[in-house]
Amino acid sequence: MARQIVQSIAVSVWALVDRQHGVIARRQLLELGMSESAIDHRIATARLHRVFRGVYAVGRPQLSQAGRWMAAVLVCGPGALLSHLSAGALWGIVKPGASVHVSVPLSARHSAHGLRVRRRRLREADITRHLGIPVTGIVLTLVDLATTLSRDALEAAISEADKLDLIDPEALRLRLEDYRGRPGVAVLRRTLDRHSFRPTDSWLERRFLPLVRRAGLPVPDTRRHKNGTRVDFYWPELGLVVETDGLRYHRTAAQQAKDALRMQRHAAAGLFPVRFTYEQIRSEPAHVEATLRAVAVRLRAAG
């Protein structure tokens, strides 16, 4: 009977460890029926490896990034969840930072060395799980990121959230009404301005949009498919398509042929295709603006 109980506890422990990316808290082991002495024995025999006080990696000390995030949430106690840059990284919209950011209820007293812990009031709607890890929802995550990221990095995060189908810019604009008054909301609302913001896939594309505005063109559509291919920028009212080359200094002959075919398809469909290189957008913005302006004048006259 005792053996069956031990086996049952072991099954429950491993199931939880698997869901928690290789980590478990001492309080969870006790709740599952493991005794204090059994836990201490496993620590002494290197079957449990301390990550934080009362939180252990099981089997081996090495953890994945998800395991480190889960351990940080566990050490901060019930109600803790990833937030800010760490939440953004978990959602896949920013890169992980050096520190782990955790938000805890106002009443919480848990913390750990090396973690950035914020005590705050969170609503039920702000709390969710992603990959099994408690985390702020995507809207609050973006609101929090707006307090720390540069304009370009914030635009990139919004674009990535849209690309991953987490939330699109229009839905995000509407949801911000629920967060009025919170730090970051005003910055996020300005960034999402309908007259200037479009989702993009790269720094180069975000660098290109201000040149468009200065050339006097309306904000183009992005991430549109035309003539069997996805285009960088499209002005349906002008019939204009613009492609940007990016950092492809060593493009192969096959890549060049593919690019040429794309432009030929646009031209055959009656569109006016223009291509700008990375260096032109970065180092010759006046040339890019002048070209866009001249092309727009010509297309409007022809229309």
pLDDT of residue 218: 92
pLDDT above 50: residue 184: yes
pLDDT tens-place string over residues 193-213:
877 788 888 899 999 999 999
Residue 249 in this model has a pLDDT that exceeds 60: no
- Whether 220 maps to a domain, the answer reads yes
* The pTM of the whole model exceeds 0.75: yes
State how far the alpha carbon of 23 is from the alpha carbons of 49, 59, 112, 186, in Å. 9, 9, 16, 38
> Do 241 and 283 belong to one domain?
yes
Residues 213 and 237 in one domain: yes
Q: What is the pLDDT of residues 88-110, one digit of tens each?
A: 999 999 999 889 999 999 887 76
Q: Helix 84-91 and helix 65-75: axis angle, to 10°?
A: 140
pLDDT digits (tens, 9 = 90+) for 55-70: 999 988 999 999 999 9
Residues 296 and 269 in one domain: yes
CATH number of the domain that residue 252 is part of: 3.40.960.10
In sequence order, which ranges of the chain are alpha helices (DSSP H)? 2-19, 26-31, 36-44, 65-75, 84-91, 138-145, 151-163, 169-175, 185-191, 203-214, 253-268, 278-283, 285-302
Distance CA(8)–CA(6), nearest Å, equals 5
Count structural domains, the chain: 3
Strand (E) or helix (H) holding 82: strand 81-82
H/E stretch holding 25: strand 23-25
Average pLDDT for 256-283: 88
Structural domain for 233, as ranges = 203-302
* Shared-domain flag, residues 174 and 232: no
| 94 assigned to some structural domain | no
Residue 300: per-residue pLDDT: 92
Token pair 């914030």: residue = 154
Domain presence at residue 108? no
Place of tokens 């460890």: 17
